[in-house]
Amino acid sequence: MAKPDATPETGAASAPLPKWKRRVFIAATMGVPVALALALELVLRLFGWGGYPAFIREAGELRPGERLCLVEPAATKPYFFANPTRPGYAEETNFVMPKPAGTVRIFLIGESAAKGYPQPRNLAMSSFLRAMLEDLWPARTVEVINMGTTAVASFPLVYMMQEVVRYEPDLVILYVGNNEFFGAYGTASINAAGTMPTWALPMMRAVRGLAVVQALDAVVHRGADEDRTLMEQMVGQSVIPAESPLREAAARNLEAHIGAMIDMAQDAGVPVLVCTTASNEAGLAPLGEGDAAAARFEDAKRLAAAGDRAGAREAFLDARDLDTMPWRPTRATEQAIRDTAAARGAPLCDIASLFRDTSADGATGWELLDDHVHLSVEGQAKAARAMVESMVPLPEPIGVDSSAAAALPGWRSYATQLGTNPYDDYRVNHTLRVLFGVPFMKRTNPEAFARFDGACRAFEATMPPPILATAREWQSGRVHAGALRPLTGMVARVLVRENRIREAAGLYEIARSQVPDYNSWHIEYTYFLLACRERQNGSLDETDRALAARAIGEGRFLLTNGFSESGMTERYVGRLLQLRGEWGEAIPFLEAARPKMAVEDLVACDQALVMSYMRTGRTADAIGIAERGIRESGRFEPVYRKLREEIGRGTGPAPQR
């Protein structure tokens, strides 16, 4: 009789595997894919995938013991995992650590409305706030560091606050609450992450931080929706009825996340000022589908026309709340801000109510808003004024004297001081023309599109052809190199060519305030501003020379820390040294810029380099530049022939600005 475990092949019994071997086998079977996944994760991280960039990063040492810190514009990109081709961005800003003595440092946290969109950075609420506080505290240096980031809901901002409290803030201001539906991690955004319980969102974030997941997202969404605006891309659920649980979830999320941010600040001993956010209630018709919101909006307009401000306010707010596409905050999200501030003892700046109280119809309209939630110049200034007045009861060093605050100049005075001008009015009108050209915006608010399109066309009709061509080039995006180049600086270049030097200098001064320092554009605009002043006055005074020296210092820092790829930093550091009469010192910078230059930029760089060679007795080097250009520059060959003739006469080229 055969044994039960005998096999025909061996005729012998197969003994069962010991338990320890079975465990090893199971562990190996399960461990191989885990090991492969870990290996893939590590490899992808070596190539830059995975994790979350810091919202603030150290750029390098300015002086012994002083480090320059930068707000990272693209830090929120991983939160846009469903539309990685069009993430939201912050403005690049910088500050020094440790905080210099005598400095009051304020961080402003929020979304695009806090950022100041669609206004340029010099006309954002943070700039108005800084200007007002500088008037109140003339003996102090005031920093208002704007962390506003486009298209995010409140959840990513919790992690921003985690970093902010480590950088010696004297005050944090929260202007948060506009994007709880359609922002990244909003309840109705394309990724729909905000529908999860608030306790699950950090786990979702951790998974989305894996390199494998991020790389897969990039492949899946490669090139998707690139022709659609960010506003269109963020919509995940376009119809949200008034009774939808997504509305309750939005208020719940906002309350939880603002509460977490207040707790972090208070735990770090940092005062926090919480603001409600304004929206266009009286001017903007409901954006979504459905008759109820539209009918209530018409009721509101009739009540306003009859002079019933209280009734009109209620009706306008009803229409906003009934809007099935809630790009604006609702009563519930607005109240969540008030309740959370009260529950945690944080001071409240109720901008939403203040704007309604000062508006003709009892609800906020076009005077203070440029679109649905973004503030006009007047709105930016008045929001900043409200923040100042809310700082009255705060302790030193950020408490404000109430009588001094009441005596501050009006908003127009600050707007003029900060650089309002017709070209930036046009910039904003064009931006809004594009926004209200989005199909659902144009369908529901055709008057708004006509408003901004008409303003653009009217100003375009007054532009001379060279400036109009420059405006068209600015709109095309070809000149921006990854950021929004100021229209003011581009128009100033045209004015220089037309010998309208005083006007150009004014626009270059504004352009400098519209870009961050420690940036090649800032160095460029400083150079052109000083070149204009030299032409106006015949020479630079000591103040001008000191300004040039500071810009040269910025450029040296950028070059030392590897921040120059285009060659523009080297080029304009060289030109600034030439303005200071330091012709020999300019040569290494201009020589380093040449290989990175092309077409007109290379010609201008060569002309500047020849000037330095001639001033330092290096005529043979100057001739070499000219003759190389004659041989190799194609359509610019006549320019180099003229340059060679000037060298032969011993005059060198005329300064090229």
CATH of the domain at 158: 3.40.50.1110
Phi (first) and psi of residue 59, to 5 degrees = -95, -20
Q: Is residue 651 part of a domain?
A: no
Identify the DSSP state of 347: -
What is the predicted pLDDT for the residue at 143? 98
Ramachandran region of residue 482, left (φ > 0), alpha (ψ -120 to 50) or beta?
left
What is the predicted pLDDT for the residue at 35? 76
Cβ neighbour number for residue 360 with a 10 Å cutoff = 12
Q: 């210092």: which residue's tokens?
A: 553
Residue 362 domain boundaries: 75-284+329-418
What is the predicted pLDDT for the residue at 237? 62
- pLDDT-based confidence at 222, cuts 50/70/90? low
- Interval 64-117: pLDDT, tens: 999 999 999 989 988 887 776 678 889 999 999 999 999 999 999 999 999 999
Q: Is residue 214 part of a domain?
A: yes
Q: Are 233 and 190 in contact (CB under 8 A)?
A: yes
CA angle, 354 then 358 then 363, to 5°: 80
Cβ neighbour number for residue 45 with a 10 Å cutoff = 15
Q: Is residue 560 part of a domain?
A: no
Q: Are 630 and 637 in contact (CB under 8 A)?
A: yes
What's the number of domains the chain is made of? 1
Distance of CA 575 to the CA centre of its chain: 29
Q: How far apart are CA 568 and CA 601, in angstroms?
A: 9
Number of residues assigned to the chain: 657
Handedness of CA 587, 593, 598, 599 (dihedral sign): negative
- How much of the chain exceeds pLDDT 90, in percent? 77
| Pairing mode, strands 66-71 and 56-63 | antiparallel
Q: Are 240 and 325 in contact (CB under 8 A)?
A: yes
Region 490-518: what's the mean pLDDT? 97
pTM over 0.75: yes
Identify the DSSP state of 143: E
Phi (first) and psi of residue 69, to 5 degrees = -110, 140
Q: Is residue 483 part of a domain?
A: no
Mean pLDDT over each residue of the chain, to the nearest integer: 91
Q: Is residue 22 part of a domain?
A: no
Query: Considering only CA atoms, which of 237, 230, 225 is closest in space to residue 193?
Result: 237
Region 124-132: what's the mean pLDDT? 98
Q: How far apart are CA 194 and CA 117, in angstroms?
A: 24
Q: What burial class does residue 594 get, using C-beta atoms within 10 Å of its C-beta: 0-12 exposed, 13-18 middle, 19+ buried?
A: middle
Number of helices (H), then strands (E), in the chain: 28, 8
- pLDDT-based confidence at 246, cuts 50/70/90? very high
- In the predicted model, is pLDDT for residue 616 greater than 70? yes
Phi (first) and psi of residue 366, to 5 degrees = -65, -25
- Kindly list the strands in the beta sheet with 56-63, ordered across the sheet, starting from the edge strand earlier in the chain: 56-63, 66-71, 94-97
Q: Is residue 528 part of a domain?
A: no
Q: Is residue 269 part of a domain?
A: yes
Q: How far apart are CA 379 and CA 473, in angstroms?
A: 29
349 sits in which H/E element = strand 348-349
- How much of the chain exceeds pLDDT 70, in percent? 90
